Amino acid sequence: MEKKDKNISAMSTPAIGEAGFTGDWRDMKPVIDHGKCIPSVKNKPACYLCWLYCPEGVIKTGIPVEIDMDYCKGCGICAEECPAKAITMVNEGDENG
């Protein structure tokens, strides 16, 4: 029998529900600095703690890491957990974000 990694659990993926694009609920949004983000800096799949901790399952692993802003709620957990301080929470209307 295949042994599964005990650190990996089931995750749901975001989809349109009755509430529509729930990213509309945000007032802050995460912005990734890919110059600090470990997968981009190392050019290899690594870290992805933001993906692991995001309660909405809206972070896509890859190089670069991407966030599905249609469903991100702006909770800021990814920014808190990022070991490289690569994620900054900015005001939703901030053009620099």
Which positions touch ligand SF4 (CB under 6 A)? Answer: 30, 32, 37-39, 47-50, 54, 56, 58-59, 65, 67, 72-78, 82, 84, 86-87
Cis peptide before 64 (omega within 30 of 0): yes
Q: Which is nearer to ligand SF4, 6 or 45 (CB)?
A: 45
The owner of tokens 């990734």 is 32
CB of 44 to ligand SF4, least distance (A): 11
Name the minimum Å distance from CB 2 to ligand SF4.
Answer: 27
Nearer to ligand SF4, 5 or 49 (CB): 49
C-alpha–C-alpha distance, residues 84 and 73, integer Å: 22
Helix (H) or strand (E) holding 91: strand 87-91
Q: How far is the CB of 45 from ligand SF4 (least distance, A)?
A: 9
Q: Tokens 């802050």 label which residue?
A: 28
Report yes or no: 46 and 39 within 8 Å, Cβ to Cβ: yes
* Nearer residue to ligand SF4 within complex by CB, 3 or 44: 44
